Amino acid sequence: MEKPKFKTVQEVIAAGEGLPERYLNIPTGNDEGQPLNGSVPVMDIPAIDLSLLLSSSEEGREELSKLHSALSAWGVVQVMNHGITEEFLDKIYELTKQFFALPTEEKHKYAREIGSTQGYGNDMILSDDQVLDWIDRLYLTTYPEDQRNLKFWPEIPNEFRETLHEYTMKQRLVIENFFKAMARSLGLEETSFLDMYGENATMDTRFNMYPPCPRPDKVLGVKPHADGSAFTLLLPDKDVEGLQFLKDGKWYKAPIVPDAILINVGDQIEIMSNGIYKSPVHRVVTNREKERISVATFCVPGGDKDIQPADGLVSEARPRLYKTVNKYVELYFDYYQQGRRPIEAALI
Ligand code: OGA
Ligand code: NI
């Protein structure tokens, strides 16, 4: 397979030729009063104890109602007591840093190829006039195991592969419990969402590196988008902020909560919940001095499954808002390329 000719952000910096225009954002009316590098308020989202969510105790019910209000208001929660140790999460962060610190030639062994989303590379260039994001990535399908493409899985640092495998298996439990908790918080049968998610659901993990950027006032790490997943598990950098969520037309920053996993609803839970849980628009701003890393895992329903509002959430008082969709992620990229919100395509 042919390798694409691209420069990662790290290579752009190493070339020392200044900041290419392709990264510069043109201010839009939406940012008025909130410049890219301005200070923004912190979002008020709760830390949820995952181990309590499935208990039928009084405390468990309280935790479910916290989950319900955070997901209705923001579509985002910080999840604690998720069963993955701090030590293990630190190892993931460390291996991510080590991978991006490798020499260019070594990283290019895992370079993305034309027509593939997996592998190492820059922001995917889908059109000539696209403003590029200030981000380098390693993107890997991790589950089911037979969909792994190991040629993109780094052999150095040498614990990378086995640690990613272990992380995937640990995340599966978190994902299953979170699906059950969301269904319960909406008064549905525990497995309602899991049944739609299906046996053939996939997990994709994206290791993100945002190098220091000379123009945080003009350049974004990731432009505003909502995720096409059912939901996304994120390990945001432990020291460097940058992730922001949009609510009622204003940007708020995500707090840094050590050892928590940030979970945001994606478009497919918005559909399954008939719009009660919203898939939030978010972006990442850049930092002049510090690099930032994050690790995102997208939980994507199987292509054999129809995704639609759960029966129990449709009534005369709350009519069905979304069509039945299938292979939503394909539709997602078509819309994304046109700069539109893909969820619009699913609205009735
Ligand atoms: C994403 C994303 C946020 C981050 O990869 O879709 O929103 O903090 N990442 O890197
Ligand atoms: Ni995202």
Structural domain contains residue 215: yes
Predicted confidence at residue 28, as pLDDT, reads: 66
Rg, C-alpha atoms of the chain: 20
Predicted confidence at residue 111, as pLDDT, reads: 95
Predicted confidence at residue 5, as pLDDT, reads: 66
Distance from C-alpha of 258 to C-alpha of 78, rounded to nearest angstrom:
10
The Cα-based distances of 130 to 24, 46, 123, 126 in angstroms read: 10, 36, 10, 7
Predicted confidence at residue 32, as pLDDT, reads: 55
Predicted confidence at residue 184, as pLDDT, reads: 97
Contact 100, 137 (CB under 8 A): no
Structural domain contains residue 3: no
Predicted confidence at residue 128, as pLDDT, reads: 78
CA of 297 to the centre of ligand 2 (A): 10
Q: What is the overall mean pLDDT for the chain?
A: 93
What is the domain extent for residue 261? Answer: 9-346
The burial class, CB within 10 Å (0-12 / 13-18 / 19+), for 89 is buried
The model's pTM is: 0.95
Q: At what angle do helices 86-100 and 160-185 cross, to 10 degrees?
A: 130
Predicted confidence at residue 95, as pLDDT, reads: 98
Structural domain contains residue 4: no
Q: What is the pLDDT of residues 175-231, one digit of tens each?
A: 999 999 999 999 999 999 999 999 899 999 999 999 999 999 999 999 999 999 999
Residue with tokens 């290579």: 11
Token output for 179: 């699906």
3-class state of residue 264 by DSSP:
strand
Distance from C-alpha of 181 to C-alpha of 194, rounded to nearest angstrom:
11
Distance from C-alpha of 305 to C-alpha of 294, rounded to nearest angstrom:
30
CA of 296 to the centre of ligand 1 (A): 6
Structural domain contains residue 309: yes
Which ligand gives the minimal distance to the CA of 225? Answer: 2
Could you tell which of 117, 284, 297 is best to mutate to test the pocket of ligand 1, judged by most ligand atoms within 8 Å of the CB? 284
Which ligand gives the minimal distance to the CA of 134? Answer: 1
Predicted confidence at residue 30, as pLDDT, reads: 58
CA of 207 to the centre of ligand 1 (A): 9
Predicted confidence at residue 4, as pLDDT, reads: 56
For residue 280, what are the contacts with CB-CB under 8 A and spacing of at least 6?
A: 74, 75, 76, 226, 245, 246, 247, 264, 265
Our count of domains for the chain comes to 1
Structural domain contains residue 2: no
Structural domain contains residue 332: yes
Q: Which helix (H) or strand (E) holds 140?
A: strand 136-143
What residue ranges line ligand 1, CB within 6 angstroms?
A: 206, 208, 222, 227, 234, 236, 243, 282, 284, 294, 296
CATH of the domain at 310: 2.60.120.330
Q: Which residues of the chain have a pLDDT value below 50?
A: 1
Structural domain contains residue 197: yes
Residue with tokens 């994709």: 204
Q: Which atom of ligand 1 is nearest to the CA of 294?
A: 10
